[in-house]
Amino acid sequence: MTMTAINTTSKRQLAMVMDLNKCIGCQTCTVACKTQWTNRNGREYMYWNNVETSPGEGYPRNWQNSGGGFDKDGNLKEGVIPDLEKGYGTPWDFNHDEMINAKEFKSKQAPIWGPNWDEDQGAGNFPSDNYFFYIPRLCNHCDNPGCLASCPRDAIFKRSQDGVVLVDLDRCQGYRFCIAGCPYKKIYFNPRVSKSEKCIFCFPRIEQGLPTACAQQCVGRIRFVGFLDDEEGQVHKLVKKYKVAIPLKPEAGTGANVYYVPPVDGPVKFDANGKPILGSNRIPPEHLEALFGPEVHAVVKTMRAEMENKKNGKGSEILDLLIAYKHSDMFRLDNDYYKAIANGNLRPIDERYTAGKFTSFKAVH
């Protein structure tokens, strides 16, 4: 066995862009993911994809302040493992049987917290300046994943073909340092198999040319999926060319590959008499900066200018693109690329996820 350097860099990188201006918080993505991957076998509490209300405590509760990621110097920052009941919330059962006997309908245990618990609460004062928006979150398939860096077993790997970050379930021994290490708290511990599990970017779908389930099902058509280096792709255009899509919590230093077009204009504020204050915006720039870093201000400026252009009949490629006319443009998965790697094989292009990376050990003497 040789100790090769960890596979942390990839030749190509898959990425996702989400236009938060269009997210209606319907949770169709959440359900698409849940029914596909996490409704069974110890994953019941996990939401590989969730939509939360911002500002809010989110899922798991208070993930923004739960540590992980890297400091300025690139050192691992300490993090915490969220509590199952108080942090994630366990799916609770209702007393269906007792209802037959005309008992009050209620949950069997007192619900403490759950995903989307603080839906639509937001911040500010109703009706003058309250505000919120939705933010769907999934694993960011980072360039330098905090989970990977903190795994003492080298059980997390980044696929060189497309940058998808996966847990090698054969190597994983359930130590959970990855959970502390992820600044997004998007890797979960499955207590039934004693392993960590996370969003797999629907790689079995992706390899067949289909987008992730969350993107495919999105009714608001807010999600774009493609390779960052595909210059014809909308993902590349939004992220690299026009720079209007930016990652969440860039200060975590992980190089996230899920990008967001930030909410540009909320409704205007009302004055004491209930009259709209023209030109005002309920979403404080500081709140956006806390989520997306200082870059967000330039993005908002660009987006406003583009909206103005569109209004004035000057046209805007960015806005045309964000309208998301065709799935075929929104999802460019380069199936020829995968087909070439797979060489006509239906199996995953990289079998480490199912087979284990170092399963055969050869002693060296």
Partner 1 sequence: MRKIVTSLVAVAALGGSSFAADFLAPVKTKSDLSKLTASSVELKGLKFETVYLYPQTAVAGNDKESSAKFASAQALKADVAVLVNERDFSVVVKWKDSTNSLQTQKDIKSFGDGVALQIPQNCSDPAKLPYIGMGSEGRPVTIMLQKNTQGYYAPTVADLTDTQANNNLNLFNDELKKKQEKVAASATAKYQKVFVAEGFRSTTEVKEQTGYTMDMKYNKGSWTAVFTKKLKDDYSSLSSVAGKDAYPAYGNEAEPVKGAVASFCDAEPIALAIWDGGVDGRDGTKWLSSWTPIKMKDSEKSKKAILEISAKVKGNVANGKKLASENCVACHTIGSVKAPENMAPNLNNVGGYSTAAYLRDSIIAPNDVVVPGLNANRSPMQFYAVDGNGKRVSNMPSFEHLKPAEIDDLVAYLQTLKAGVKK
Peptide bond into 127 cis (omega under 30): yes
DSSP letters along 185-245, please?
Answer: --EEEETTTTEEEE--TTHHHHTTTPPPHHHHH-TT--EEEEETT-TTSHHHIIIIIS---
Distance CA 154, CA 234 (A): 34
Q: Which is nearer to partner 1, 88 or 242 (CB)?
A: 88
Q: Closest distance between partner 1 and the C-beta of residue 181, in Å?
A: 5
Q: Which is nearer to partner 1, 1 or 102 (CB)?
A: 1
Q: Which is nearer to partner 1, 83 or 308 (CB)?
A: 83
Distance CA 363, CA 365 (A): 7
Q: Which is nearer to partner 1, 20 or 46 (CB)?
A: 46
> What distance, in Å, lies between the first and last C-alpha atoms of the chain?
11
Distance CA 57, CA 71 (A): 23
Which positions touch partner 1 (CB under 8 A)? 1-6, 8, 35-37, 39-42, 67-68, 70, 73-81, 83-84, 88, 144, 148-154, 169-171, 173-177, 180-181, 188-189, 191-195, 204, 354-355, 358-359, 361, 363-365
Q: Closest distance between partner 1 and the C-beta of residue 326, in Å?
A: 27
Q: Closest distance between partner 1 and the C-beta of residue 246, in Å?
A: 22
Q: Which is nearer to partner 1, 56 or 67 (CB)?
A: 67
Q: Closest distance between partner 1 and the C-beta of residue 295, in Å?
A: 23
Distance CA 182, CA 70 (A): 9
Q: Which is nearer to partner 1, 34 or 236 (CB)?
A: 34
Q: Closest distance between partner 1 and the C-beta of residue 193, in Å?
A: 5
Cα Rg, the chain, nearest whole Å:
22
Q: Closest distance between partner 1 and the C-beta of residue 206, in Å?
A: 13
Name which of 45, 2, 30, 16 is nearest 191 in CA terms.
45
